[in-house]
Amino acid sequence: MKNSKTFLTGCDVHDKTLVLQSTLGLEEPELTKWANHRESRGKMIRHLKMAAQKKSAKRIVFVYEASGSGFGLHDELEAAGIECFVLAPTKIRKSTKDKKDKSDAKDALRLLEILRAHVLAGNALPAVWVPDPETRDDRERVRARIDMGKKITVVKTQILSLLRRNGVERPGTVGKPWSRPFMGWISDLAVGDEPGLGEGAQIVLCSLLRQLMFWKAEQATLDRTVENLSKEKRYTSRVKVLTAEPGVGLLTAMVFLTELGKMNRFPNRRKIAAYLGLAPTSFESGEASDRKGHISREGPCRVRKVLCQASWYRVRAHPEDKPVFKRMNRRNPRKKKIAIVAMMRRLSIRLWHLALNEEVGSKTA
């Protein structure tokens, strides 16, 4: 068989080590271990090629699980002429025994078996889409901006907690939290012009205010960076179309575009909802059919966050979405989250259609 002449490798990747299980077809696999740095990975690639050559295999296929290590290993293997697939950990089925009986060698063997079933038997491979280096680099900028917002929220929460612990209540004259009058009152508390805080609490409050100012300045810098990125040729037309939608700002559009990458890789709206974790889970057994649970929450949580913010704006202000939300919420008035998730799914599909049409139009122009 042609596929029996394919040299297969499953790899368990760690920060410092690479554990490989390699074999030809149905032969007994060979276990090897390598250090995870450029020189050692080069030696590993040469070893795989020599091993495949000894087995008269012209094709080498390599798999490993997606992780925080990124796609650098994938790029090196592909550049060396080795087929590489990165598998989604959430799509790999593991029994209770597998979870309790775990080692690097067994994990690598499990990945090898998945690959062997794919190559020799045609089983589906739970591979993730590997974005090109340019898209990965764009993601870094946009994700940094999202993370900066989280840091600002943490500092704000710490400030409010400090006031609460010390029994300091906000006067009604200073307006809403984080408004200019409120920030003026907080600053006076920090320097002792307003009563309520002891010396230690004032020192901590001053520190938190400095952190808040620093993170806000960094946020403004990253906002400019994301704005400059949106003006690049590959994003300009799609950003313009998406931001024309009520509730969809520049950051929301850029998060959506960079996290999803190529829109044409999704064949239909159901795949989009599933990828974003907005599809309901299913619990069917025996006579109990069509039982739906909570959404899966798989995929990029950053997209769900911006979609949630945009959807709340739309259901409050957009004349088209407002009555739809009311109709959905009428079924279960106490659970607005169900309705807002449905609106998020609706908005994600609409944005996908708009970006896809713009993507196809730019290629045919």
Residue 166 lies in a domain: yes
If asked whether residues 220 and 254 sit together in one domain, one would say: no
pLDDT, position 1:
45
pTM, whole model, 2 decimals? Answer: 0.88
Nearest to 315 by CA among 296, 332, 298, 336: 336
Residue 131 lies in a domain: no
pLDDT digits (tens, 9 = 90+) for 224-268: 999 999 999 999 999 999 999 999 999 999 999 999 999 999 999
If asked whether residues 202 and 245 sit together in one domain, one would say: no
Indicate the helix (H) or strand (E) that contains 276.
none
d(CA 240, CA 242): 6
Number of domains, the chain: 3
Please enumerate in sequence order all residues whose Cβ is within 8 A of that of 217, keeping only pairs 6 or more positions apart, or say none.
none
Residue 87's beta-bridge partner residues?
65, 127
DSSP, collapsed to helix, strand or coil, labels residue 309 as helix
Residue 130 lies in a domain: no
If asked whether residues 208 and 252 sit together in one domain, one would say: no
Could you tell me where the beta strands, DSSP code E, fall in 236-291? 280-282
Q: Which two tokens stand for residue 54?
A: 């000894």
If asked whether residues 341 and 294 sit together in one domain, one would say: yes
- For residues 24 and 55, is the Cβ–Cβ distance under 8 A? yes
Token pair 């025996």: residue: 286
If asked whether residues 275 and 294 sit together in one domain, one would say: yes
Could you tell me where the beta strands, DSSP code E, fall in the chain? 6-13, 17-24, 30-35, 59-65, 83-87, 280-282, 292-295
Q: Which residues of the chain have pLDDT under 50?
A: 1
pLDDT, position 50:
96
Token pair 């297969």: residue: 8
Residue 297 lies in a domain: yes
d(CA 310, CA 31): 50
pLDDT, position 362:
65
Expressed as residue numbers, the domain containing 19 is 3-121
d(CA 48, CA 206): 58
Rg value, the chain, Cα: 26
Residue 273 lies in a domain: yes
If asked whether residues 271 and 324 sit together in one domain, one would say: yes
d(CA 46, CA 217): 48
Q: What is the CATH number of the domain that holds 74?
A: 3.30.420.40
Residue 180 lies in a domain: yes
Token pair 């808040």: residue: 212
DSSP, collapsed to helix, strand or coil, labels residue 120 as helix
If asked whether residues 286 and 213 sit together in one domain, one would say: no
- For residues 66 and 88, is the Cβ–Cβ distance under 8 A? yes
Q: Which of 121, 150, 174 is the last residue of a domain?
A: 121
If asked whether residues 287 and 224 sit together in one domain, one would say: no
If asked whether residues 203 and 253 sit together in one domain, one would say: no
| Element counts in the chain: helices (H) and strands (E) | 13, 7
pLDDT, position 291:
59
Residue 128 lies in a domain: no
d(CA 365, CA 361): 6
Q: Which of 212, 230, 248 is the last residue of a domain?
A: 230
Q: Which two tokens stand for residue 355?
A: 């970006």
pLDDT, position 263:
94
Angle between helices 38-54 and 72-79 in degrees, nearest 10: 40
d(CA 357, CA 360): 5
Q: Which of 71, 87, 121 is the last residue of a domain?
A: 121
d(CA 253, CA 347): 12
